[in-house]
Amino acid sequence: MIYDLIILGGGPAGYLAAERAGKAGLKVLVIEKDNMGGVCLNEGCIPTKTLLYSAKIADSAAHGEKYGVKANVLLDHAVVMKRKNKVVKKLTGGVRASMKALGVEIIKAFGIIKGQSADGYTVDANDTEYIAKRLLIATGSSPVVPPIPGVDTGLKSGAVLTSTEALALTEVPKSFVVIGGGVIGLEMAGYFNSAGATVTVIEMLDKIGGSIDDDIAKKLQSNLEKKGISFKLGCKVTKIDNGKVFFEANGEIDSVDGDKVLLSIGRRANTAGIGLENIGVVTEHGAIPTDEYQKTNVPEVYAAGDVDGQSMLAHTAYREAEVAVNNMLGEHDSMRYTAVPAVIYTNPEVAGVGMTEAMAKEKGMDVTVKTVNMNYSGRYMAENEGGDGVIKIVVDNQSNKLIGVHMIANYASEIIYGAGLMVEREMTVNEIKKIIFPHPTVGEIIREAIFQL
């Protein structure tokens, strides 16, 4: 049988493409080496959010006296993990059921592209060859393991972990050292701190949170420090010796001890060993470059999700997968990265969309930046005793359009898509002024900031 589409990888890009293509009547085969759902459902977005919700409840209960509530708090890690596993099982089961309902076939195997014939592309899975008119490569990404002395030994002994192993820990380590203060590092630091570990984050740059707004990064750091997390910024890790992490700062070597050490210094596209060279798909810095239609350099071969190296986020993967399938179906659709929201699910949450002040200034744009205290939102005040959250909006002075919204405050993760809509639709300040926001909500802060310009 010749399939219309073979998808390599059953993560967010792969399963969403399979759903859309299956619904459109294409005969689809998904080849996935592990469980359906990819990193996001099995060992990424969803498991971490389950853990962080427990952490948030524990934090709120531990500091309940500010709100007139007193409690003795114990975070039971074993119960948290059990619940996490239940949530993951339910969601991955849901993906499989949805595939089945749409007639999408799934094979558990490591797929390898073998070549091209008049019938299409041949892919090997468990020593059987499958042929399809089109391919979608959605093989995702894996944690970067740096060539730091002692890392390999640490990984073998279990003292050094990637996020995958950290999410499977059965006990809370007494001390937890995080290498890399990006999204994964901060979320994991947040959970293990709430769960009772002594947490230290070592970051090479002089700020945490990667490309998030500089002021917001500082605020996040001070909030996490108040919770007891230590930060070593501008520090380069030089060696790991069974949990002892050596690092260099200003020419001096220092060290910190960890029962467990997490490596979270970024992820790399999974392109090795999948046979890209057999059909001539090119890679750049290990990822597969695509055009705005998610097409690779080879006809009828598409790529979507982390493997294209653009924006390693599940929601970007969803949209890229949709763009790929729509183009396969002959519908005009193209990918834009102007308004991809980014969220860090710490407590407090950080979320942003569009340009930060630094990005706009680097581009030489003439912008107005307004920072507004979250306490202008009555609901924020009611729910965040002593909270110091802010929203920062960036407006292009030439067009009077909103081009960026960045905030630190709980609910930011749920509010940011509204801001994303404004940025994506290129709304002007005057247009946004006419939008009615529900009151009292934390999201009203966007309206407040727009009127304070």
Task: Specify the residue for token string 């999974």.
Answer: 270
Nearest to 420 by CA among 317, 336, 331: 336
Whether 5 and 22 have beta carbons less than 8 Å apart is answered as no
Applying CB under 6 A, does 112 fall inside the site for ligand NAI?
A: no
Q: How far apart are the first and last CA of the chain?
A: 62
The CA distance from 203 to 190, in Å, is 15
Q: Which stretch binds ligand NAI (CB under 6 A): 25-33, 173-181, 369-377, 422-430?
A: 173-181
Q: Helices (DSSP H) in 249-353: which residue ranges?
A: 314-328
> 25, 94, 146, 158: which one contacts ligand NAI (CB under 6 A)?
146
Q: Rg for the chain (alpha carbons), in Å?
A: 23
How would you classify the pairing of strands 128-137 and 2-8? parallel
**Tokens matching residue 188:** 């994991």
Report yes or no: 172 and 192 within 8 Å, Cβ to Cβ. Answer: yes
Q: Work out which of 27, 34, 259, 266 binds ligand NAI, going by CB under 6 A.
A: 266
**Closer to ligand NAI at the Cβ: 353 or 372?**
353
Which residue in the list 315, 332, 406, 439 is annotated as catalytic?
A: 439
- What is the number of the residue whose Cβ is closest to ligand NAI? 182
Give me the least distance between CB of 413 and ligand NAI, in Å please: 8
Rounded distance between C-alpha atoms, residue 103 and residue 23, angstroms: 9
Interaction between residue 313 and ligand NAI (CB under 6 A): yes
| Residue of 256, 331, 254 whose CA lies nearest to 26 | 331
Neighbours of 115 (CB within 10 A): 12
The CB-of-59 to ligand NAI minimum distance in angstroms stands at 18
Q: Between residues 12 and 120, which has the closer beta carbon with respect to ligand NAI?
A: 12
Among 13, 29, 104, 343, which residue sits at the site for ligand NAI (rule: CB under 6 A)? 343
Quick note: the x/- pattern for ligand NAI over 202-241, rule CB under 6 A, is xxxx----x--------------------------x----
Which residue lies nearer to ligand NAI by CB, 195 or 429? 195
Q: Is the dihedral of CA 429, 433, 436, 441 positive or negative?
A: positive
Give the C-alpha distances (Å, rounded to integers) separating 254 from 175, 245, 246, 263.
17, 8, 6, 18
285 is catalytic: no
Return the closest-CA partner of residue 231 out of 243, 239, 222.
222
> Would you count residue 345 as binding ligand NAI (CB under 6 A)?
yes
Stretch of 102-110, 183-191, 398-406, 444-452 lying at the interface with ligand NAI (CB under 6 A): 183-191
- Counting residues that bind ligand NAI (by CB under 6 A) gives 24
Query: Which residue among 181, 258, 389, 443 contacts ligand NAI (CB under 6 A)?
Result: 181
Nearer to ligand NAI, 22 or 190 (CB): 190
| Binding residue for ligand NAI, selected from 344, 350, 355, 407, defined by CB under 6 A | 344
| Contacts with ligand NAI, residue ranges (CB under 6 A) | 146, 179-185, 187, 202-205, 210, 237, 264-267, 312-313, 343-345
**Residues labelled as active-site residues:** 439
